[in-house]
Structure 1
Amino acid sequence: METAIAFIIIFGSIVFFHELGHFIFAKKAGIMVREFAIGMGPKIFGMTKGETLYTIRLLPIGGYVRMAGEDMDSVELQPGFRLGIHVNNDNEIDLIALNQNKQFPDMLFLEVEKADLTNEMFIEGYDEEESFVRYKIARNARINENGNETFIAPYDRQFGSKTVGQRSMAIFAGPLFNFILAFFIFLILGLLQGVPTYEPVITTVVADGPAAQAGMKDGDLVTKINGSPISTWDELSEEVKVSPNQKMGFTVDRKGETLEFSMIPKEVTSGKEKLGQIGVQYVSPLEKNPIKAVAFGAEQTYDWTKRIFTLLGSLITGKFSIDDLSGPVGIYKATEEVAQYGVFNLMHWAAILSINLGIMNLLPLPALDGGRLLFFLFEAVRGKPVDKQKEGMVHFVGIMLLMVLMVVVTWNDIQRFFF
């Protein structure tokens, strides 16, 4: 149960920030956002505030921001269609009822002759007395169909009406917010836990190892190796790794006292490499410093971004196969393992997942944010947008392929963890 709660909180937070990026920059561009959804599938909770419906949906596998002008969003009123309208004090239509069985106070009924709900925003037709009438539609007008109301979106409030730059930013902002979330999680970890100093301090000396035999002790700070100064654990580790079976001299600071030790790193095999080891273990000392915590947040975000791109490169070159990929089941099992080591480790895991989601969405594949950005790039180069039907077909095929990949990855996870 605790794992399920942790998974929902982590994944829900990552998806929330991703969609929040889309939402903020869509609103900034003046685009009407019809729905802000966390999760997919059937709605389990919904609340309308302003012109946006906020929902939580059953399946915790994603989310979306539905913008006006996308996915067959518009309503067309054909000649001869009978509907009900409500007119405000400015003699503008503020409500259109498509189902005439629904009665509203002061409702008027007319038969449509001509209508434009997005550009000129008017309805012409014949009223119940068969008189020809023309009404302007208010910019905040609503359409009611079987009790469900949505706002009419004037063309200048629709996604397609905006510049390539505005549309691109509204799409790019989702992955961008995943990187921002990761940065703030690492920043908080730096503030609460402290920032690793990476000083070459020996945490534990392993019994009977070269370091123990030479006389080194827990807490020794290594300042020089073979007479050359060192300042980080990585420098110490690298010097030892490349020196198997070679005599090495260590200068150590032990509580203010300078000591000298000599030892020969033993040779160990790692894959095809021969590496040196002196038998010590390391946990970096932590320092609580707000300025360093900011730098730590940026460094960790950059380092993990680079690592994930490296893994993607391995997948492309064949060093990493599709069988090694994990989907929601694999992420759930990994969350279960990480949760055993405390909330700080869960936070670290959430930051990595957030970066991963940001990178995955930026891949130039159909149906992903990166795929949409690629179409905007084509539009900017060509000077005109790609045909909507062709683009829609490409994204549809992309969605189908992603669904197939999701099924394959999920099945691999099930076999890996439950069989």
Structure 2
Amino acid sequence: MELLPLLGKTFDLALIIFGFGAIVFIHELGHFVAARWAGIRVLTFAVGLGNPLVCWRKGVGFTRRSSAIRYRAALADGDESVSPTEYRLNALPFGGYVKMLGQEDLNPGARSEEPDSYQNCPVWKRMIVLSAGVVFNVISAGIIFVIVFSMGISHSPPVIGALVPGGPAERAGMLPGDEILEIDDVAPDSFTRVAMKASMAGANHVMHIRADRRGETLEFDIKPERSPEIGLLDLGIYPSTSNVL
């Protein structure tokens, strides 16, 4: 397997993990903020699952393991300088959670009689806490939407940056730098349109392509082939802005 496609897949996987982690973080942040507003004691705010990589608690500082024992000891001594909330970064970058006093998902029958427990919070406030995660996700999606469309979305021009060795476009005689003017009499406005047109072509469809090469208009008839990398029909070309060399 070539190194560059492997790096591309690894980067795509990292983006998926980062995006999923960001969604979960915002969701759990909504629960956390609402719980603090409702006066519920938050015991843990964790990003990720599994064993903690690092923990932080006000009054204790950074630790490699949970400082819950130190918090309980401070609570027994009447020391209010130690925060009840521990912030964790866990080993597995999937998910996250907020643990509130009195909320036991694995033991719903368990109760806490503390006045700042989840169970002793008014029902209407508990409903707000439960729905706050989704509300935060919706608000963040709206903010991202506004930012992206106010800045505009850049598209790679329909210009070939590199070709797959032995691919359909190379065999047809296309070269890096060729600008695709038309595909089956339709002018693509971006390289993405070119890729979509090829992927949606019929299995035996031969695409008629007009391209500009340093002021000269050339015509090619190319039959897309299924790419082993992405599993879709492809012309065997990369955009001019691609990192593929």
Find out whether 1:280 has 2:237 as its counterpart.
yes
Alignment match, 1:341: none
The answer as to whether partners of 2:42 and 2:98 remain within 8 angstroms in 1 is no
C-alpha deviation, 1:278, in angstroms: 3.5
1:248 corresponds, among 189, 195, 207, to: 207
**Relative contact order higher in (CA < 8 Å, ≥ 6 apart):** 2
How far, CA to CA, are the matches of 1:180 and 1:50 in structure 2?
Answer: 34
Instruction: For residues 306-326 of structure 1, give each alpha carbon's deviation from its aligned partner in whole angstroms, at most 9, with x where no partner exists.
Output: xxxxxxxxxxxxxxxxxxxxx
Q: Contact 1:40–1:57 (CA<8 Å) still a contact in 2? A: no
Letter in 2 for 1:281: Y
Range with bigger deviation, 65-74 or 46-55: 46-55
Checking the alignment, whether the CA contact within 8 Å between 2:31 and 2:129 is kept in structure 1 is yes
Aligned partner of 2:99 in structure 1 is: 65
What does residue 43 of structure 2 align with? Answer: 35
Deviation at 1:23, TM superposition (A): 1.7
1:216 and 2:225 matched: no
- Superposition TM-score, scaled by structure 2 size: 0.52
> Contact 1:226–1:250 at 8 Å: present in 2 too?
yes
Cα distance between partner residues in 2 of 1:267 and 1:34? 56
Alignment of 1:20-419 (within 5 A): 20-28=29-37, 30-38=38-46, 44-45=66-67, 53-56=84-87, 60=91, 62-67=96-101, 71-74=110-113, 152-153=115-116, 158-159=120-121, 161-163=122-124, 166-174=125-133, 177=136, 197-241=155-199, 242-254=201-213, 257=215, 259-265=217-223, 268=226, 277-282=234-239
What amino acid sits opposite 1:32 in the alignment?
Answer: I
- Structure 1 unaligned segments of length 5 or more: list them: 1-5, 76-151, 287-419
Check conservation: 1:246, 1:265, Cα contact below 8 A.
yes
Q: Which has the larger radius of gyration?
A: 1
Q: For residues 209 and 158 of structure 1, do their structure 2 counterparts lie closer, same or farther at Cα, with a shift above 3 Å needed?
A: same
- 1:215 and 1:229, CA in 2 relative to 1: closer, same or farther beyond 3 A? same
Describe the shift of the 1:63–1:246 C-alpha distance in structure 2 as closer, same or farther (beyond 3 A): closer
Normalising to structure 1: TM-score of the pair? 0.34
Q: Is the 8 A contact 2:167 2:235 kept in 1?
A: yes
Paired with 2:50 and 2:153, the residues of 1 have a C-alpha distance of: 38
Cα distance, 1:50–1:173 mapped onto 2, change above 3 Å: farther
In the alignment, is the contact (CA less than 8 A) between 1:199 and 1:285 conserved in 2?
no
Which sections of structure 2, spanning at least 5 residues, go unmatched? 1-13, 53-64, 72-78, 105-109
Q: 1:214 offset after TM fit, Å?
A: 3.8
Give the secondary-structure state (helix, strand or coil) at the position aligned to 1:260: strand
| Residue 64 (structure 1) shift | 2.5
Look up the equivalent residue of 2:187 and give its one-letter code: P
- Following superposition, the deviation at residue 208 of structure 1 comes to 4.4
* Structure 2 CA distance for aligned equivalents of residues 172 and 197 of structure 1: 37
Q: Is the 8 Å Cα contact of residues 19 and 174 (structure 1) preserved in structure 2?
A: yes
Distance 2:24 2:226 in 1: 44
Count of residues in correspondence between the two structures: 189
Provide closer, same or farther for how the CA distance between residues 27 and 54 of structure 1 changes in structure 2, counting only shifts above 3 A.
closer
Instruction: Work out the CA distance in 2 between the residues paired with 1:15 and 1:247.
Output: 45
